[in-house]
Structure 1
Amino acid sequence: MNFYYAPIFSMGPACNICTCAIHHDQTVTNRNQLAALIEQANITRAQTAQYIAEETKRPCSWRTVQAWLADPELDSSRTCPDWAITNLSAHLKRLKIID
Structure 2
Amino acid sequence: TDGEMYGVTNDESDKARALFEKLEGIDVSPAAGVATGALIQAVEAVKIGKKETIVLNITSGGYKRMRQDYPLHYLKPDLVFKPEEIEPDFLEKSITSVS
Alignment TM class, shorter chain as reference: under 0.3
Greater C-alpha radius of gyration: 2
TM-score calculated relative to the size of structure 1: 0.26
Task: Normalising by structure 2, report the TM-score.
Answer: 0.26
